[in-house]
A and B are shown apart, each in its own frame.
Chain A
């Protein structure tokens, strides 16, 4: 079955530690996204990538980094510079960024907590 796989489901970060969240898709989609979800707030865009080896900052990129070396993979690193990392992180993909049908396919999310 085609879809988006995020891992791990739960992740704990110690003070000063960088952690990496994995996102893999087998939908052959060009565009991939990382969103952060906090209780009572809308999803906020962290980074997005329209094509391999290219990515752009979203609304809340500070303290995060990404790479897009393969079409299928878009890992997110939460660095020690992100002072409030506790949140539910969602990876998504779409056929093409800005396409007429901007239908996003989401993974099941990673819950990141601070120890």
Chain B
């Protein structure tokens, strides 16, 4: 069974204090790993897709990286508007689970001014 575990559950940063969020995964065949951002009371918003170990993608203050067992979302010099819940999900490449997404429970990020 595919599993995704995100850590920490919650992270509090001061504005400008860089840090990383972790997403550890177990999947029989990785088709892709996805990062989403979710604001309170809203639906998740797509950030990145990573397909193979060693791949990196950047968007403003966010950079996502991927290894064979985990992904990191690095946040450089965060601002209060980066406060949100960050969700990680994996897509399975094989068999009856083809295309199925398994989500982690999310990391709640709070950035204080």
Contacts and interface: CB of A to CB of B under 8 A. Distances in A.
A101 B89 CA distance: 13
Contact of A45 (B36, B41, B87, B100): B100
Contacts of A16: none
A41 B6 CA distance: 11
Interface stretch (A60-68, A69-77, A78-86, A104-112): A104-112
B45 to A, nearest CB: 7
Contacts of A41: 105
B34 A102 contact: yes
The contact size tier of chain A is 20 to 34
Contacts of B104: 42
A40 interface: yes
Q: Secondary structure at chain B's binding surface: helix, strand, loop or mixed?
A: strand
Interface of A is mostly: loop
A108 B32 CA distance: 24
26 contacts: A42-B4, A42-B87, A42-B89, A42-B102, A42-B105, A43-B44, A43-B87, A43-B101, A45-B101, A90-B43, A92-B43, A98-B98, A100-B31, A101-B32, A101-B49, A102-B32, A102-B34, A102-B49, A102-B101, A103-B46, A103-B49, A104-B36, A104-B46, A104-B101, A106-B43, A108-B43
Interface of A: 4, 6, 40-45, 90, 92, 97-109, 111
